[in-house]
Amino acid sequence: MANPLARAAFIAAAHTPKQLPPDGGREVTFAGRSNAGKSSALNALCNQNALARTSKTPGRTQQLVYFEVEPGKYLVDLPGYGYAKVPLDLRAHWEAFIETYFRKREALAGMIVVMDIRHPLRDYDRQMLAFANARGVSAHCLLTKADKLGRGQQMQTLAAVRKEMPETATVQVFSAESKIGVDEARGIVCGWLGF
């Protein structure tokens, strides 16, 4: 079957609520700490080499980056920012924006949380899962870079993470490198988008 996500293309970047595309469609938001492997995961799911590079453009580190799959169906890249270098007022603005987004965005159909399988469930990840849980929005975690571990360790981590997550969230192993779990993750994202 053709991969609908292969059609994803950059459409907008939003730093304030007014810059968001009209609410009311369906969108899946991708969260992950810097370097977790989020861009690689997005690229693998969309079968594209450089899609998520757009999100790493300097100046976009505090923007929600929208990729349109088809009108009204979006993938949203939530940059995994490093806070240290961000001035306090900007940081407060950004946090307020993100909080409002997760609280109010009607189109939010699901959240993917990308975590390095060797460093899962850090504070940032828990915060994102809490946002989804509070809203009753589905969340699915990718334990990526799974190719860095043997099968036994992968399964151990999977079981440990599953135990610690909110009951409503799901989790799988993933690798953009060796393509472990790509079909499974794509199936979930496509389901949330209504394909």
Q: Using the rule CB under 6 A, give the single segment among 65-73, 143-151, 152-160, 162-170 that binds ligand GDP.
A: 143-151
- Indicate which single residue of 73, 105, 140, 145 sits in contact with ligand GDP (rule: CB under 6 A): 145
Question: In terms of C-beta density within 10 A (0-12 exposed, 13-18 middle, 19 or more buried), how is residue 132 classed?
Answer: buried
Q: Does 144 bind ligand GDP (CB under 6 A)?
A: yes
Looking at the DSSP bridge assignments, the partners of residue 144 are: 116
The least CB distance from residue 66 to ligand GDP, in Å, is 16
Report d(CA 30, CA 189) in Å as an integer. Answer: 10
Tell whether residue 176 is a contact of ligand GDP (CB under 6 A): yes
Q: Min. distance of Cβ 55 from ligand GDP in angstroms?
A: 7
DSSP 21: P
Q: How far is the CB of 31 from ligand GDP (least distance, A)?
A: 10
Residue 157 lies near ligand GDP (rule: CB under 6 A)? no
Asked if 99 and 71 count as a contact pair (C-beta separation under 8 A), the reply is: no
Alpha carbons 139 and 170: distance in angstroms, whole number: 6
21 binding ligand GDP? (CB under 6 A): no
Q: Which of residues 23-62 bind ligand GDP (CB under 6 A)?
A: 32, 34-40
158 part of the interface to ligand GDP, by CB under 6 A: no
CA atoms within 13 A of residue 185's CA, in its CB half-sphere: 30
